[in-house]
Amino acid sequence: MRLRTIYIKKKFLKLLFVSFSIISLITILTKITNNLTTSPPPPPPLVINKDRILNTFPSVNATYDIMKDLEDSFSEDKIGTRPSACFVTLVRNEEMDDMVNSVAYIREKFNKNYNYPWVFLNDEEFTDEFKDKISEAAGNITIEYGLVPEEHWSYPDYIDTDKAAETRIRMSDIIYGDSESYRHMCRYQSGFFWRHELLDKYDWYWRVEPGIGYFCDILDDPFQYMQDNKKVYGFTITIHEFESTIKSLWQTTRDFVANNTEYIAKNNLIDFISDNNGETYNLCHFWSNFEIGNLNFWRSEAYNEYFDYLDHAGGFFYERWGDAPVHSIAASLFLPKDAIHFFPEISYYHVPYTNCPIDNAIYEKYNCECNQDDDFTWQDYSCGVQYHNAQNLTKPMGWTNHTG
C-alpha cells in the first residue's frame, strides 16, 4: 500500500537513531568520568516569597485561572458543534516527498471523513511543485501556505551570537547540537507558530510533521472530543529528554515560578515532570511532533510570560532547549491535569518510536495495523508509566509485558 512505503526506510532510521543515541550517551558518560570536577552543582533551593507556603510548585492562593483564558473554546453552545480547527505543519520544500506521505496518512485514516483545513508554514516560499503535490494528496480541503516572519526565525537583539556559535561547536557531539536551524525551529515552535496570522481564526490545531505514519483508523474526531470535554493538550508519545541539551531549563523555570506562583494550576501535573515535587526535573515530556491542542493556551498570559522569560534567558541558543520540554513543562504546571489527554487509540509513528494500542479491544475497534510489540508507551525510555501514575489512570492489561 502506498501509505506504507516509508515503513522499511524508517525501520533502518530507527536503528540508526538508536545507534547514534548510544554513541552520544557513551561520549557524555566518558566526559563525565574524565572530568567530574566540572559537573554543575545541584540547583539551589527554590526561593518563594515569605508570605507563601513553602511548597515547591502547587500554588495555594492562585489569583489566575488559565481556564478563563480558554472559556470561549469550551462554552456550552459549542458542545457538539464543529470545532474551529486545522492541521498545522512547519516544513521545507526539500521535505516534500515525506510530507506527501504524511498528508496521505491523515487523509486515509481520518480527514477524508472530516475535511479539516491545513496550514503549511515555511521560512522560505513554497514551490509550486510542493503545493501541487500536497493538494493532490490532501484531497478537497482548504489549504493555506504561509511564510514565517523573519523576526521569528532570527536572533533577537538580546542574544550574543558569538556565544551561540561557541555553543554549537561545544555541543557538536550531541544530536542537533551543532545545528543553528534546529535551534531556530525549536524557538519558533515554542513561542511563535501560534502567532502566525493564518492561525488567528482557529481555536484548535493538530501538528503534523513530514515522514510520520498512522496505523489505526481514527474513527472519532479528536478536536470534537477535546472541545466537548474541556481538554487543552493531547499527545500520543512521551519520552525522556537528553539532559545535556537543557541543563539550565529547569532552574530557569524554577526562577520564573518563584515570582509567578499565581500561574501554577492548583491541580497540576507536576508529578509527571518531577519525582520530588519540583526540586528537580525528571526529563519527561510529551513528544511534540504530535500535538492536538488549543491555540488559546499558547496565547494565554501565563504561557506568554513564561516563554518570554525563557527566551531572554537564552537557552534556545546557549544550550539546545527543545519545544517539547518547554511545551510539556508549561502544560504540566499551568493546566489542571484533567485538561491533558493521552490518545491510546491513535497509532502514531515518528522515527524511531511507535504508539500502538496494546489493549486488544481498542486495537480491533480502530482496525489497527501496527505491531503491538513496537509500542513505546511502557518502555523505560518512555514516560508512559509516569504519566499514568501522575493521572491515577488504570494501565491496560498486560502492560508489563511491553516494558524494558
User: In the annotation, is 71 catalytic?
Assistant: no
Chain position carrying cell 504508539: 355
Residue with cell 554513541: 23
* Residue 11: φ, ψ to 5°: -60, -40
Instruction: For residue 141, give the nearest of 120, 168, 172, 167 by alpha carbon.
Output: 120
Torsion, CA 22, CA 28, CA 29, CA 30, rounded to 10: 110
DSSP bridge pairs for 163: none
Residues with Cβ within 8 Å of residue 224, at least 6 apart in sequence:
80, 82, 83
Q: What is the dihedral of CA 74, 76, 78, 81, to 10 degrees?
A: 130
β-pair type (143-147, 118-122): parallel
- Taking the CB of residue 403, how many other CB atoms lie within 10 A of it? 12
**241, 291, 319, 345: which one is catalytic?**
291
Contact 94, 120 (CB under 8 A): no
CA–CA distances in Å: residue 289 to residues 50, 127, 149, 276, 286? 40, 24, 21, 28, 9
Cβ 59 vs Cβ 262: under 8 Å: yes
Active-site amino acid positions: 291
